[in-house]
């Protein structure tokens, strides 16, 4: 069902996020008929623009551009929006530095936005546990929690959402999704580029804050949570929170690529990690004893995000008498080529009982001919509809920070050459995810 009579206010509308992601996503929703008139997209920022000069910054259809307006600053923003009509749904996207979220929420409330407006903020939600608690308190002083939408764009990826369908719409897999059958879970997130222009932010964060504490931990929650009683946002959040409360970080190894300290806006003596290997545990009846391994970094040998579930080896009987039969495995390819791979063993043709490895694959590009929506399209549409399923709650952010807090900025920092994959330290039997690179490519 299309959304109509809505207003989207973008704070920091002259910035890169609005230009590259937000406005193009809204324009695509318009073209797909998922948002319809009456509609207003109101940009706001410190830069002075007219409506026309603001519109000229974006390559969007003329019909959509006509809905775009601009107001300088926050003072008088609600009055300016009201000049374009009364709206059933108003969302404010704070495309601003996270350090300004608290003050921005207070100013928005003073302008009259708190009662009927939803506030969307981007990660990072704090720098550690204490700062996350402070931020949540500041936001709660101005906006009800039900109106705060914390974006984790990984949750809006189609391949990530499909994890829930894979787990809970197929009776084939549900009975074996536990520690009795799964020997390990591995999450691999590699980037082949360095920090680029993000040095000022990244050097204060590091890869654990930037990727692990939010994106990859949210993935882990979807992979390991119990079945929710419904697809209602609160029921799903309840199960994710149960995972976070029982999740334990067992060990962390950190690395930094050679030349990182010479990157723009990076301290010459920086001890910020650009690579991390982690071992986690989830102390529940379902997952106790199944180790979780995470490997993530920048300036590595390849780009790709994958998840591997390795099942326990067969007894040394029948076809596995010598113990050389590879275990079954499920690999979720999150990006860049979305898909699911199932590794099986089958008989080779001929008279002898010879066993070989076989893969069964599901590739998005082959199964669905329609365009896969970009993450911000889904997130903005859900916010307009009031659906909080793909957004992160205050409790989730605080519980996640609490788990990682003892390991932030701690431990030896190993160096590695850009374009290489550092040798494993905590876990020696990593899946060769690179071997799956051609699948679905």
Q: Which residues pair with 331 in a beta bridge?
A: 308, 341
Tokens of 37: 């008139």
CATH code (residue 269): 3.30.360.10
Q: Which residues pair with 427 in a beta bridge?
A: none
Please state the φ and ψ torsions of residue 269, each to the nearest 5 degrees. Answer: -115, 25
- Are residues 400 and 354 located together in one domain of the fold? yes
- Assess whether pLDDT exceeds 70 at residue 354: yes
Tokens of 142: 């101005």
User: Does a structural domain hold residue 411?
Assistant: yes
- Assess whether pLDDT exceeds 70 at residue 351: no
- Assess whether pLDDT exceeds 70 at residue 323: no
Please state the φ and ψ torsions of residue 367, each to the nearest 5 degrees. Answer: -80, -30
The reply to whether 215 belongs to the active site is yes
Model confidence at 181, pLDDT cuts 50, 70, 90, reads very high
DSSP assignment of 104-141, as one string? HHHHHHHHT-TTTEEEEEESP--SSHHHHHHHHHHHHT
- Is 65 in contact with 26 (CB distance < 8 Å)? no
Task: Among 289-298, 359-368, 376-385, 425-434, name the most confident range.
Answer: 289-298
Tokens of 39: 């509609």
- Are residues 203 and 280 located together in one domain of the fold? yes
- Are residues 170 and 298 located together in one domain of the fold? yes
Torsional sign, CA 99, 152, 425, 404: positive
- Are residues 102 and 177 located together in one domain of the fold? no
Q: Give the 3-state secondary structure of residue 338.
A: coil
Tokens of 108: 């928005």
- Are residues 100 and 164 located together in one domain of the fold? no
User: Using one digit for the tens of pLDDT, what is the confidence trace for 71-98?
Assistant: 999 999 999 999 998 999 999 999 999 9
- Are residues 276 and 424 located together in one domain of the fold? yes
Q: Which residues pair with 256 in a beta bridge?
A: 415
- Are residues 71 and 204 located together in one domain of the fold? no
Note the pLDDT of residue 141. Answer: 96
Tokens of 136: 């949540």
User: Does a structural domain hold residue 147?
Assistant: no
DSSP assignment of 268-314, as one string? TT----SEEEEEEEE-STTTTT--EEEEEESS-S--EEEEEEEEPPP
Which spans in 189-255 are helix H?
199-205, 207, 217-224, 233-246
DSSP state of 179: T
- Are residues 68 and 177 located together in one domain of the fold? no
Note the pLDDT of residue 375. Answer: 84
* Residue position matching structure tokens 């994710």: 240
Specify the long-range contacts of residues 319-323, CB closer than 8 Å, at least 24 apart: 319/345, 319/353, 319/355
Domain count, the chain: 2
- Assess whether pLDDT exceeds 80 at residue 396: yes
- Assess whether pLDDT exceeds 70 at residue 371: no
Domain that holds residue 47: 6-122
CATH code (residue 36): 3.40.50.720
Note the pLDDT of residue 370. Answer: 67
The one catalytic residue in 71, 129, 153, 215 is 215
- Are residues 103 and 34 located together in one domain of the fold? yes
Torsional sign, CA 375, 380, 383, 384: negative
Tokens of 263: 């990157």
User: Does a structural domain hold residue 382?
Assistant: no
Note the pLDDT of residue 130. Answer: 96
User: Using one digit for the tens of pLDDT, what is the confidence trace for 416-429?
Assistant: 999 999 999 999 99
Contacts of residue 60, Cβ cutoff 8 Å, sequence gap at least 6: 23, 24, 27, 68
User: Using one digit for the tens of pLDDT, what is the confidence trace for 199-211?
Assistant: 999 999 999 999 9
The radius of gyration of the chain from alpha carbons, rounded to an integer in Å, stands at: 24
- Are residues 346 and 258 located together in one domain of the fold? yes
Say what percent of the chain tops pLDDT 70.
96
- Are residues 52 and 197 located together in one domain of the fold? no
- Are residues 192 and 328 located together in one domain of the fold? yes
């Amino acid at each position: 069902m299309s959304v109509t009579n809505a207003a989207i206010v973008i704070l920091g509308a002259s910035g890169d996020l609005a230009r590259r992601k937000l406005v193009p996503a809204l324009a695509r929703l318009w073209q797909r008929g998922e948002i319809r008139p009456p509609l207003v997209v109101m940009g706001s920022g410190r830069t002075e623009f007219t409506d026309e000069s603001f519109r000229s910054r974006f390559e969007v259809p003329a019909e959509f551009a006509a809905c775009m307006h601009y107001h300088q600053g926050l003072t008088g923003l609600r009055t300016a929006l009201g000049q374009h009509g009364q709206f059933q749904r108003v969302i404010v996207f704070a495309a601003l530095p996270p350090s300004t979220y608290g003050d921005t929420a207070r100013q928005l409330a003073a302008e009259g936005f708190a009662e009927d407006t939803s506030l969307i903020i981007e990660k990072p939600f704090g720098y550690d546990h204490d700062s996350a608690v402070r931020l949540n308190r500041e936001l709660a002083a101005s906006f009800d929690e039900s109106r705060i939408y914390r974006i984790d764009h990984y949750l809006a990826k189609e391949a990530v959402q499909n994890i829930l369908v894979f787990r809970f719409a197929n009776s084939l897999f549900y009975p074996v999704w536990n520690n009795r059958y799964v020997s390990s879970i591995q999450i691999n997130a590699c980037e082949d580029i360095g920090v680029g222009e993000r040095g000022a932010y990244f050097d204060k964060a590091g890869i654990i804050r930037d990727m692990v504490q939010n994106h990859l931990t949210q993935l882990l929650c979807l992979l390991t949570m119990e079945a929710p009683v419904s697809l209602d946002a609160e029921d799903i959040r309840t199960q994710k929170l149960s995972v976070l409360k029982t999740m334990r970080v067992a060990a962390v190894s950190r690395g930094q690529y050679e030349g990182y300290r010479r990157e723009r806006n990076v301290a010459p003596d920086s001890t910020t990690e650009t690579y991390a290997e982690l071992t986690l545990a989830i102390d529940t009846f379902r997952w106790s004893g199944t180790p979780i391994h995470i490997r993530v970094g920048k300036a590595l040998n390849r780009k790709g995000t994958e998840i591997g579930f390795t099942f326990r080896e067969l007894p040394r009987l029948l076809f596995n008498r010598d113990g050389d039969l590879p275990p079954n495995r499920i690999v979720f390819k999150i990006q860049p080529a979305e898909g699911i791979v199932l590794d099986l063993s089958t008989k080779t043709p001929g008279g002898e009982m010879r066993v070989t490895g076989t893969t069964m694959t599901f590739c998005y590009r082959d199964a669905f001919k329609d365009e896969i929506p970009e993450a911000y399209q889904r997130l903005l549409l859900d916010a307009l509809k009031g659906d909080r399923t793909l957004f992160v709650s205050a409790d989730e952010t605080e519980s996640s920070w609490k788990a990682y807090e003892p390991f932030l900025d701690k431990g030896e920092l190993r160096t590695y050459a850009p374009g290489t994959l550092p040798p494993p330290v905590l876990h020696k039997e990593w899946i060769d995810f690179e071997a799956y690179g051609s699948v679905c490519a």
